[in-house]
Amino acid sequence: MANKKLRILYLAQMLTEQSDEEHPVTLPEMLEYLERCGISAERKSVYDDLELLRTFGMDIISVRGKSFGYYLGQRDFQLPELKLLIDVVQASPFLTQRKSMELIGKLEKLTSCPQAHLLRRQVYVMNRVRTNNERLYLTVDGINTAINLNRKISFRYFDWTAGGKKAFRRDGAPYLADPVALCVDRHYYLVAYDGDLGEYRHYRLDRMENLTVTDQPRSPLPGSFDLGSYVKTIFDMYNGPTVRVTLRFRRKLTNVITDRFGTDAHICEDGPDTFSLTEAVEVGPTFFGWLFQLGTDAEILGPESVRQDFAAYCRQVLARYEA
């Protein structure tokens, strides 16, 4: 009886790991595989086991031809989906190189070995800046736990020095924060709420250490918070005053502006080759830097105070290069 139970498990394992549409396994191969696993079996018993696995829900497909074979058809993830997930893992700067390869290795196990080989061929190491914080996974888990339990979190926060050392803010004293959400904007960020100031703060997860979920309940959070709407107002997670700004752009920037503000942005044509929109943004250096790269194809129409602040920013940059 024990061998029978093991036999069906080994058959399920073989079909999962070694078979796909282009690589069906034959009955003699199954018998040979079972023999290597220390289990003797007859053809009829293998046929019965395959029917049981089908009844259980495995999509075992028969192939008729010169060599009659079987393969596992429908899987939780198909090859194109796994390729997409691997691309996302490779492109994530908040994952260390080691963690990226570990995740890719686990994703490869979700398909057959022959197809995993194809996935491995598309894996390449991009020459991009990555985090070196191996504890980021634990930080993500701790923050999610705190949000689910409605608890405050405690952590230390640091900046990098020019010498590659950690310089902890507040002389290493811990921060106490009310976690609201996690979001990705090139890096992984925590959005936290400061009830005393009535505003949101952002912290990069790869620069957080010693995170602890406390027993203190979170302060009451604004009920109207919408992460999607909020993220559209900020640039590179920079905290600054939120201002409704009216901007004018040349028509050729339509795709750029749609990518930045979304397809639901209120774009209005205001000339033969221009359009304008009014959006709430967090005004500061990162917003000005984004606008600066658009050159003369973009213009702040108002408010006048933001227009003048941007002009001063441009003059300060130009002053660096004047003789």
Its pTM stands at 0.56
Phi-psi category of residue 236: left, alpha or beta, with phi > 0 → left and psi -120 to 50 → alpha: left
Cα torsion 240, 242, 246, 251 to 10°: value is: 60
Domain span at residue 21?
2-72
> For residue 309, is pLDDT > 70?
yes
Q: Are residues 214 and 238 in the same domain?
A: no
Same domain for 66 and 94, yes or no, is: no
Pick from 114, 25, 113: nearest CA to 70 = 25
What are the residue ranges of helices labelled H in the chain?
2-18, 27-36, 43-56, 79-90, 97-108, 113-122, 136-149, 227-233, 254-261, 285-292, 304-319
CA distances from 82 to 14, 64, 72, 112, 123 (A): 20, 28, 16, 12, 12
Largest separation between any pair of C-alpha atoms in the chain = 90
321 Rama sector, left if φ>0, alpha if ψ -120 to 50, beta otherwise: alpha
How many angstroms separate the CA atoms of 288 and 312, rounded?
A: 10
- The answer to whether residue 118 sits within a structural domain is yes
Q: Is the pLDDT of residue 73 over 80?
A: yes
Q: Sorting pLDDT into bands at 50, 70 and 90, what band is 234?
A: low
| DSSP conformational letter for 23 | B
Element at 216 (helix H, strand E)? strand 208-217
What is the rounded average pLDDT of the residues 130-144?
76
CATH number of the domain residue 301 falls in: 3.30.70
156 in the same domain as 207: yes
| pLDDT of res. 93 | 67
What is the rounded distance in angstroms from the CA atom of residue 284 to the CA atom of residue 238?
Answer: 7
Q: Indicate whether 220 belongs to any domain.
A: yes
Rounded percentage of the chain residues whose pLDDT exceeds 70: 88
Nearest alpha carbon to residue 181 among 222, 236, 210: 222
Residue 53 pLDDT: 93
115: confidence class by pLDDT, cuts 50, 70, 90: confident
| Whether the predicted pLDDT of 249 surpasses 80 | yes
**Do 313 and 244 share a domain, yes or no?**
yes
According to the model, what pLDDT value does residue 146 have? 92
Comparing 4 with 143, the larger pLDDT belongs to: 143
- Domain shared by 143 and 219, yes or no: yes
Where residue 53 sits, what CATH number does that domain have? 1.10.10.10
In whole angstroms, give the CA distance from residue 235 to residue 230.
Answer: 11
